[in-house]
Amino acid sequence: FFSPLHLFLLSVVHPAPEPYHPPVVYHPAPEASSPVNTIRVFYGVMFDAGSTGTRIHIYKFIQKDPVELPVLDNELYHAVKPGLSAYKDNPEEGGNSVRQLLKIAKKTVPEDSWRRTPVILKATAGLRLLPEDKANALLKEVREVFDESPFFVPNNSVTIMNGKNEGVLAWVTVNFLTGHLYSNTKRTVGILDLGGGSTQITFLPKSKSAPSNYIARFNLFNNTYQLYTHSYLGNGLNFNYLSKFREEVTFGGTTYKVSGIPDGYAGYKLCYYEVMKVIKGIVHQPYEVKGSSVFYAFSYYFDRAVESGLIDGSRGGAIEVRDFKKRAKEVCNKMTKYRAISPFLCMDMTYITCLLKEGFGFKDSTVLQLAKKVNNVETSWALGATFDYFRNLNIH
């Protein structure tokens, strides 16, 4: 077990209820006949329906004693591509992709726990960007897949999550896994999440200078947190290129053809100038990012750092913003070397550099901790969303 994870949920001390009367918010109910020394195991299944893929997170929790807190024992993670939005004209196939992932849940969760294990799917930018009727058809199909499964299906189990919650719940995940939610110093880390369709920034601000629509409040572990958080829809790594840069890309089930300089040479400076046009003035620059705060960066930040050789994919690592800039210049000016890795690596690295510097306003010396996992658990909003389901964080 991970030592910081013993402080899981202050009020969740019993297994999940039988789903005879599904509640809106899932609260495990006590069993009067439970002996004090019974070890209890319960599970939660969270689907992340992203713009480029659908991922399943299966969490196993252990409770050794009803008077103690549960422990997050482990997570099983699996992903399939493409994302649900790619099936916008064939929702049945979208439902089938979720059905395949549910088979993994059935193999992972013991059969006697199926009826009390909640299954939840939250969709992000890929479905936010679809026409409402297309998105609803996909959600309806997923609900039907859930209903035919042997798992507990809560009310509102299949939804499109708003960008603000996406940032807050990712912040909860990372600060929980790193132990920062329990330190007496109240120090926390910020998070940067770069997906295919949107990008999020979330941190605990020291001042109250941010616009009100950039602030979210929630309750956790007897504390009320007030976070700076914002999601920029359309500023994800893939979506940003669709009208501007890539030669041919399939995103959200649509193939885009984009022209450029055939076998031309542009280099870092010209790329940076083009990216500036879709970043500058659009992204709010919070005062705190110019300080010494530590930020965890994941998703495409991590993936592109690995592909460009900035970090080791098995370990992650700490780099400065200037390291992204330096490597972006190298990739763009040595495309014959990097083209085999990815023909878009120059543009991706330039976009990340520009987003960090010109968009959010980070200094060259700001430290970014790049991580795909912390304590063997995925750095995503999924664990935070599982907490929200068990505890209702009342994000507002």
Q: What is the pLDDT of residues 53-73, one digit of tens each?
A: 999 999 999 988 776 667 899
Residue 204 φ/ψ, nearest 5 degrees: -90, 110
Contact 1, 33 (CB under 8 A): no
Extract the tokens encoding 208: 């109250």
What pTM value is reported for the model? Answer: 0.84
Q: Is the dihedral of CA 122, 6, 75, 39 positive or negative?
A: negative
Q: Which residues are catalytic?
A: 166
CA 115 from centroid of its chain's CA atoms: 27
pLDDT reported for residue 383: 95
- pLDDT tens track for 275-314: 888 888 888 999 888 877 889 999 999 999 999 999 999 9
Residue 34 assigned as binding residue: no
- pLDDT tens track for 67-116: 666 789 999 999 999 999 999 999 999 999 999 999 999 999 999 999 99
Q: Is the dihedral of CA 335, 339, 340, 341 positive or negative?
A: positive
- pLDDT tens track for 151-183: 999 999 999 999 899 999 999 999 989 988 876
CA 259 from centroid of its chain's CA atoms: 32
Extract the tokens encoding 241: 């290129």
Residue 313 assigned as binding residue: no
Extract the tokens encoding 268: 């870092």
Close Cβ partners of 290 (under 8 Å, ≥ 6 residues apart): 361, 362, 363
Q: Which has more confidence, 30 or 205?
A: 205
Does residue 32 carry a pLDDT above 90? no
- State the Cα angle at 351 between 177 and 85, rounded to 5°: 70
What is the mean predicted confidence (pLDDT) over 27-31?
Answer: 40
Residue 197 assigned as binding residue: yes
- pLDDT tens track for 332-388: 888 778 877 778 888 899 999 999 999 999 999 999 999 999 999 999 999 999 989
Distance from the first to the final alpha carbon of the chain? 32
Close Cβ partners of 111 (under 8 Å, ≥ 6 residues apart): 150
According to DSSP, the residues that pair with 166 across neighbouring strands are none
pLDDT reported for residue 29: 38
| Confidence grade of residue 15 (pLDDT, cut at 50, 70, 90) | very low
Share above pLDDT 70 across residues of the chain, in percent, rounded to a whole number: 82
What is the mean predicted confidence (pLDDT) over 114-121?
Answer: 97
Q: Which has more confidence, 19 or 324?
A: 324
The identity of residue 335, as a single letter, is M
CA 142, CA 157: separation in Å to the nearest integer?
A: 10
Task: Sort residue 267 into left (φ over 0), alpha (ψ -120 to 50) or beta.
Answer: left
Q: Which domains are seen in the chain, by residue range?
A: 3-160 (3.30.420.40), 174-374 (3.30.420.150)
